[in-house]
Chain A
């Protein structure tokens, strides 16, 4: 088996349909949808198609969990112990089990919500962040940026479960949130340990995290206004080791990503 498995080689059964994240963001239908003034973008039971949106999001969580499992697994294999210490590999193996459980939970939740595997498409963006050649970059891109995003998403879904009267959804998201806080903290701890004597490497890793954070704010999907379906879970992020300054930076990146995406869509519309 080779080291460094490219995203196009991720193995899936015949039910899965792959798409690119840019295709999803730049889908011209998004502009039409945005023109509909339906009020807050927040995931609320009263909104039109709230059920479908929740099912779509749940399927996105499901495919994201598969890729998180695959990414953690690859980190146990791709590096020798000079690059990734034994204790880091143990943490990644532990994360494999956690992500495998999340896949199990997501499948059962999807079924509970009336969704079939493959009903929505899969983009491989999470796994792509797990392909960085430096394990520290992987930890920043996946554990700090994407697992951080998972905290925001799960918290939103938990709240949706609460307001829509779905105790099963709320219960499961709460459990997954506990694991995600652990994974983010794991990423922060290893970032500090592995770059203690190498500030340049730390800087590169944090830059990579910023890129991932901006990209996966998904053009306004995440933010802190009513236009954003997913809200930054500040309290939980603090629990996971993010400072207030770091959370403010993510909020700024998210706002910037939203402005960039709007400009790109408008430019495409006028072209």
Chain B
């Protein structure tokens, strides 16, 4: 029988988490605020579009995904005060003017003939950008000090990956002709050009490529 009073290492041998992370409290809060902002603008757009898409399957999926993003916004909203941001509205803002422009462009299509344009914006531009940003946050932040953010991001990423796949499959099922393919590519390029100027959903450095972070070590 093992001795329960025999000292053991404080961390299990398989627990390889490190204390340091790239973000301080302020930087994590800033990013979480921009995440909340983008999730809000997205769930509003999906909710608004439900009435404008004639395809029944798309209508129902947008309704479901609308709630997923609202839940993500709620998780980020709850995290902000824990990151010393008591006014949860202050950081709920676009990272820069280009991101505000991107969201306006993303939400612009309305006509029932523009389902492809709507879906491309969400599933071929924004969803991959969010997945990239959230993945970087998980990889870069301290897995010990910022664990609550990491845990939320884990749940959120699971949703994002599932929804991204479902949205992409919708698009593949809707794009039938060279003309529709052209429309999808053009739309993607238009929106990517804006998000490129923005530097990603949290601005330059969204996925870590900034001079400060490059110099931080291997």
Contacts and interface: CB of A to CB of B under 8 A. Distances in A.
A50 to B, nearest CB: 28
B60 A1 contact: no
Interface stretch (A73-81, A158-166, A176-184, A191-199): A73-81
Highest count of chain A CB atoms <10 Å: which of B45, B54, B70, B74: B70
A66 B48 CA distance: 13
A82 B212 CA distance: 38
Contact of B52 (A5, A100, A127): A5
Size band of the B side of the interface? 35 or more
Contacts of B49: 1, 73
Interface in B47-81: 47-56, 59-64, 66-71, 73-74, 77
22 contacts: A9-B52, A11-B53, A12-B54, A13-B54, A13-B55, A69-B50, A73-B49, A73-B51, A74-B50, A76-B48, A77-B44, A77-B45, A77-B47, A78-B48, A89-B40, A93-B43, A94-B67, A96-B63, A97-B68, A103-B56, A117-B56, A127-B51
Contact of B109 (A1, A5, A74, A103): A1
Contacts of B143: none
B107 interface: yes
Highest count of chain A CB atoms <10 Å: which of B47, B70, B110: B47
A70 B50 contact: yes
B27 interface: no
A73 B74 contact: no
A76 B43 contact: yes
Interface of A: 1-2, 5, 9-13, 66, 69-70, 72-78, 81, 86, 89-90, 92-94, 96-97, 99-101, 103-104, 107, 117, 127
B130 to A, nearest CB: 17
A93 B40 CA distance: 10
A183 to B, nearest CB: 13
Interface of B, helix, strand, loop or mixed by DSSP: helix
Highest count of chain A CB atoms <10 Å: which of B49, B51, B52, B69: B51
Given A1-B52, A1-B109, A74 B73 contact: no
A118 to B, nearest CB: 11
A15 B28 CA distance: 50
Contact of B50 (A86, A89, A96, A104): A96
Nearest to A78: B48
A90 B70 contact: yes
Highest count of chain B CB atoms <10 Å: which of A1, A5, A10: A1
B112 interface: yes
A75 B47 contact: yes
B48 A103 contact: no
B126 interface: no
A90 B61 CA distance: 17
Contacts of B69: 93
